[in-house]
Structure 1
Amino acid sequence: MSEQFYSDAKLYDRLFPGSEQPLSFYRAEADRQGGSVLELGSGTGRKLIPIASDGHPSTGLELSPEMLAEARRKADERGVVVEWLLGDMREFDLRRTFDLVFIAANSLLHLHEADDLVECFRSVRRHLAPGGRLVFDVFNPSVRMLAEADGVRRGRDTLSFVDPDRGVVQVDVEETYDAAAQVTRGTWFFSTDAEPDFVVAPLEMRSIFPQELPLLLSLGGLRVVERFGDWSRAPFTSDAALQLYVCAPD
C-alpha cells in the first residue's frame, strides 16, 4: 500500500469527499443481505459508518493506522458502534463469518500481485456466512488513459479542494504505467500559493482487466453472481468506467 498517501486522513477526506451513489449502493447491498457486514480497506469509515447507523453489526479492517484512527474518531463523534481492526486484507482470520463483505473505492487495486488478490479472495471466502456475498468495485482500465501516463506532471483541477487551514489546495499528478506489472506508478503533489508541494506522496494502483477478474475470483473460491457497469446497476459494457461485482462462494 502507498502508506504516505494515506498518512493524513483528514487531507484524504478533503481530496475525495465521496458521492452519494456509491454510498447508496453499498447501503442497499447491506440491507438486501441483512445481518453482519465487514468492510476491507475501510479507510476513514465513509461507507461503513452510515451502514452501521442503519443497524447492521459492522466491522472495518484497515491497514493504515492513521485512517483507522480517523474512522474511530468519526464513529465516536456520531455515536455509531463499529468494530475497527488493524489488519491486511490479503490474509486475516476474524474467527467468524459475515453476511456481506465489501471492498469499495478501488481499494482492491492496492494488491499488485495475482497471488495477493487470490489470497484476499480466499480470506473473504472463509469469512462468508451461508448465503453471504462479496461486493466490490474497481475501475475498468482504459487503454487510452494508461497510454497517457507518460511521466509528465499535470494539474488535476477537478481534484482541487479547500483546506480550512491552508486555503485552496491544487493537486498535480505525475504517472507512468508499468505494462508488465499492470501497475500505474504515480506521484501526487499538493500545493498552495504560499506552500508549494507541502505534501508529495507516491501512489501505485494495479489495473485489473475484465477477463482477469472471474479467473482470480475462481482461484479464490468465489463465483460472479452479478456484474454491473455503474451504480444504477446497468449491465457492464466495454466502455463502462466501472466494474462492480457481486460474488458468492463457489
Structure 2
Amino acid sequence: MSTQFYADAATYDRLFPGSEQAVAFYRAEARRQGGRVLELGCGTGSKLIPIASDGRPCTGLDLSADMLAAAARKADARGVQVRWVQGDMRGFDLGRTFDLVVIAANSLLHLLTAEDLVGCLRSVRRHLAPGGRLVLDVFNPSVRALALADGVRRRRDALSFVDPDRGLVHVDVADTYDAATQVTRGTWYFSTESEADVVVAPLEIRCVFPQELPLLLTLAGLRLVERFGDWSRAPLTADAPLQLCVCAAD
C-alpha cells in the first residue's frame, strides 16, 4: 500500500482533479441500485459526496486519516452526511450490508498480491445485500506502455498543477515494471519553478489483465455481470482505457 503517496490530501486533489464522467457514471449506478452505498478507497470523497447529495446513505472507507479528514470537510461544506471509516480494504467488517459497493479510480490496484485482492473482494461479498452490486474501475493494461517503464525519470506535463502557495508544480516519474508480480514501481518527483524535488514519493500499482479479473472475482464468490471500456458504456476492446465492471454475488 503506497500510504506515503496519499499523505497530503490537498496535493492529491490538485494532481487528480477527478472526472465528471466518472462521477456521473457512479451516481447513475447508485440511482439504479438504490439503498446504501459503500466506497472503498474513497479518498477525499470526490465520487461519494455527489452520491450522498442525491439522498443516498453513504459510507466511505479509506486507509488514510488525512484523506478522510479532507473528505469530511468537503462533505460538511456541502451539507452532506457521510459515514467516514478509517480501515483497510484488504479485510474489513462494518457490521452492515450495502446495495452498492464502489471501488473507483484504480483503488483496487493498490493491492499488490492475489491474496490481498481476493481478500478485499471476499470482504465485499460479505457486505453485499441481496441483489447488491459491486462496481469498480481499473485501467486496461497496455503492454506497449508497460514496456516503456524503464526506470528513466521523465516529465509528465499532463500532470502539472498549480499550488496556491508554491505556484506551478511539475511532476516527473521514474518507474519500472516487474512482469513476474505485475507491479509497476515508481518514484514521483514534484518540483516548482524555484525548487527541485520539493516532494519525492514512491508509488506501487498492480496490473489486473482482462482475463484475470473474472477469475479473481470467482475466487471471492462474485461474478462479472457487465464490463465496459469507457464511461459511455462502450464495449471493452484491446485499446479501451478502462475495465469498468459491474459484479454480483455468485
Q: TM-score, normalised by structure 2?
A: 0.99
Query: Does 1:190 pair with 2:186?
Result: no
1:95 deviates by: 1.0
SS of structure 1 residue aligned to 2:21 = helix
Matched residues in 1 for 2:66 and 2:180: separation? 32
Counterpart in the other structure of 1:210: 210
Counterpart in the other structure of 2:8: 8
Counterpart in the other structure of 1:165: 165
Query: Which residue identity does 2:82 align to in structure 1?
Result: V
Counterpart in the other structure of 1:175: 175
1:78 deviates by: 1.4
Matched residues in 2 for 1:179 and 1:127: separation? 33
Matched residues in 1 for 2:140 and 2:36: separation? 29
Q: How many residues align?
A: 250
1:62-91 CA-partner distances (Å, limit 9, x unpaired): 001111111111111211100000001110
Counterpart in the other structure of 1:63: 63
Counterpart in the other structure of 2:151: 151
1:37-66 CA-partner distances (Å, limit 9, x unpaired): 000000000000010000000000000111
SS of structure 1 residue aligned to 2:5 = helix
1:154-201 CA-partner distances (Å, limit 9, x unpaired): 000000011111100000000000111100000000000112111000
Counterpart in the other structure of 1:88: 88
SS of structure 2 residue aligned to 1:195 = coil
Matched residues in 1 for 2:193 and 2:50: separation? 36
SS of structure 1 residue aligned to 2:46 = coil
Counterpart in the other structure of 1:72: 72
Q: Any unmatched runs of 5+ in structure 2?
A: none
Matched residues in 2 for 1:196 and 1:77: separation? 34
Counterpart in the other structure of 2:46: 46
1:239 deviates by: 1.4
Matched residues in 2 for 1:54 and 1:193: separation? 42
1:105-139 CA-partner distances (Å, limit 9, x unpaired): 00000001001111111100000001100000000
Matched residues in 2 for 1:239 and 1:154: separation? 24
Matched residues in 2 for 1:57 and 1:101: separation? 12
Query: Which residue identity does 2:207 align to in structure 1?
Result: S
Matched residues in 2 for 1:207 and 1:226: separation? 20
Matched residues in 2 for 1:109 and 1:164: separation? 30
Q: TM-score, normalised by structure 1?
A: 0.99
Give the alignment of 1:132-147 within 5 angstroms: 132-147=132-147
SS of structure 2 residue aligned to 1:73 = helix
SS of structure 2 residue aligned to 1:236 = coil
Poorly superposed stretches of 4+, deviation over 4 Å: none
SS of structure 1 residue aligned to 2:108 = helix
Tell me whether 102-111 or 231-240 shows the greater mean CA deviation: 231-240
Query: Which residue identity does 2:110 align to in structure 1?
Result: H
Matched residues in 2 for 1:211 and 1:43: separation? 28
Matched residues in 2 for 1:76 and 1:240: separation? 37
Identity of counterpart residues, as a percentage?
A: 77
Query: Which residue identity does 1:236 align to in structure 2?
Result: L
Q: Any unmatched runs of 5+ in structure 1?
A: none
Query: Which residue identity does 2:14 align to in structure 1?
Result: R
